[in-house]
Structure 1
Amino acid sequence: MKTQSFLTSFLLALIMLSCNSVEFTEEFKAETSGKYLYNADDVIEVYYKGNDLYLKWREGEMKSVTTGDNEFFVADMYKKLHFVENSSSKEKYLSVIQEENTDSITYDYLKVADDYKTPSTYLKEANYEKALEGFLKIKEKDSTSEFIQQYKFNRIGYRFLRDKKHEDAVAIFKMNTILHPNSPNVYDSLGDGYLATGDSLNAYNNYLKSYDLNSRNKRAKEFIEIYEAK
C-alpha cells in the first residue's frame, strides 16, 4: 500500500510539473461547459473559473490539472480526460484517455442539455411522474440495474412514512409496483402506505395482491381476513 501511495504521489507530481500553461478561449469554454452523462442516473458538470477547469461530480467539486490544449487530469477520479465529438452523430463527449493506447478515442460521457435531470433528481424534487419515466427507460436497457432496485425505493418510501409524509410514501411505493410488478413485497409496502393515509380499501387491494403472489405473507393475510370480516 505504501508503494502504491508513493507511486500515485510521484505520478501526480510529474503531471503538475509537466502541465502546460494553456489559455482556454471563450469559445472553447462555451462549447465544453455543461453536463455529461456519467451513467444512467449520474452526471458530471463541467465549468470554468477564470482559466481553471472544474468538474462537479457526486456533490464534490474537483479542480483539474491541465496537461495540454485539450487534455486534463482529475486526481479525484484518477483519470485523464479530453473533449471529443463523434464525427457521425455530431454528439459531444467527455472522453477518457486510455493509458495503454493514448491515440484511441472512446465515447464515454455524453454531453446532455443544460436542463437535463436524472431520474433521481426528479425524485428529490417530488416530480414522481418524470422520475418514473426516467427509471422505466433505465429498466428498458437493463432490467437488473442498481438504479431501479426495489429495496432502494422501499427505503425511501418508509422514510417518508416515518416523517409522516404519507402521500409521498404512496407515490414512491406506487412507482415500485410499476417497476417491479411481480414482487409481493412492493404491494405489501404500498398497502402500508395506503393504510397510513387511512385508505383501507386500497390497502386491502394491495395486501391482497401481495398475498396472491406470496401466500406466506401472514401479516397481509391477517389484514385481509379482518377487512373481509367487516
Structure 2
Amino acid sequence: MKRFFYLFVTLLVMSCTGSKNAPDFIKNTEGRYFFNSDETLEIYFEEKELKVKWRGKDMTPIKVNDSSFYLKEMNEKLVFVSKPKMHIELAPKREHDGEKFVFDKLLKGQKTPSEYLANKEYNKALLGYLAIKKKDSLDRTIRERALNDLGYSKLRDNKFEEAIEIFKINVALYPHKSNPYDSLGEGYWEMKDTANAVASYKKALSINPENRSARRFLRRHKFE
C-alpha cells in the first residue's frame, strides 16, 4: 500500500511540474506571432507555464515535450522552432493536406498593419499592406472593398482625416483602379479641400471614363 502511495505522489508531482518551462525557452519564445498577415497570437507565461492568447481568448495548451504543445481549442500541436529564427510551426497532420503552417515572431514593438492604422501610424501601415500585397496579392486583408468600407465608416463618424489616410492607402495599393481615387475625392471634399478633391475625381475618371460618380461630381460642381 505504501508503495502505491509513493507512486501516486511521484506521478502527482510530475504532473504538477511537467508543465513548467526552462528560463531560456521562456525568454526566447514569449511574444507575439503572426497567425496570418494581419492577426497575431501571443505567447506568455504564468509561473513558467506556457499560455496562449488568441482572438481575445486566454488558453493553456498541454505540454507534449520541451518544444511542443497541444492546443485543444485549435486541435493543433504548436512546435517552437528557434532556427533560423524563432517561429511556430503546426505539426503536420492529414487535415493540412500537405500544407505547412508557419507563424513568424514579431519583432519587439512591431505591429500588424491594422494595428499601425488604428494607432494612426499611416506610413508604417502602408508599408505593411504593401508587403502583404507583394507576398500575396489576393490576401483578403488588402481587399480594395474592405479598405474602402473602412474609410467610409470613418467618414460617417466625421473622422475625415482618418478616412483620407485610409483612402490614400487604398490608392497606393490599387493605383490603376478608379474607385479608390473616387473615394479619396469624396474624402477631400468632405474636408473642404477642393483642389485635391477635384484632382482625385479627375484621376478616377481618367482611369475609368464610365465612373458615373466622378463624372457626376465634376459636372455638378462645374469642374469638367
TM-score norm. by structure 1 comes to 0.81
Moved more, 134-143 or 65-74: 65-74
Q: Deviations over 1:169-222 (max 9, x none)?
A: 111111111110111111110111011011122111111111222222223212
Question: Which residues in structure 2 correspond to 1:27-176 (within 5 Å)?
Answer: 27-86=24-83, 90-99=84-93, 108-176=102-170
1:208 paired to 2:202 = yes
Residues 220/99 of structure 1: CA separation in 2 closer, same or farther (3 Å cut): closer
Residues 195/94 of structure 1: CA separation in 2 closer, same or farther (3 Å cut): same
Q: Deviations over 1:50-105 (max 9, x none)?
A: 1321111233222212223322111122101121223xxx31221222236xxxxx
Residue 112 of structure 1 deviates from its aligned partner by 2.8
Paired with 1:221 and 1:63, the residues of 2 have a C-alpha distance of 57
Paired with 1:160 and 1:107, the residues of 2 have a C-alpha distance of 35
Question: Which residues in structure 2 correspond to 1:174-213 (within 5 Å)?
Answer: 174-213=168-207
- Contact preservation (8 Å) 1:208, 1:220: yes
Note the residue ranges of structure 1 that are not aligned, 5 or more in a row: 1-17, 101-105
SS in 2 for 1:82: strand
TM-score norm. by structure 2 comes to 0.83
Paired with 1:150 and 1:19, the residues of 2 have a C-alpha distance of 51
SS in 2 for 1:116: coil
Aligned residues: 205
Paired with 2:23 and 2:82, the residues of 1 have a C-alpha distance of 18
Aligned-partner residue type, residue 84 of structure 1: V
SS in 1 for 2:78: strand
Aligned-partner residue type, residue 69 of structure 1: D
Residue 229 of structure 1 deviates from its aligned partner by 5.9
Structure 1 consecutive aligned stretches of length 4 or more whose deviation exceeds 6 Å: none
Residues 218/108 of structure 1: CA separation in 2 closer, same or farther (3 Å cut): closer
Residues 93/218 of structure 1: CA separation in 2 closer, same or farther (3 Å cut): closer
Aligned-partner residue type, residue 76 of structure 1: E
Residue 20 of structure 1 deviates from its aligned partner by 8.3
SS in 1 for 2:221: helix
Paired with 2:78 and 2:223, the residues of 1 have a C-alpha distance of 66
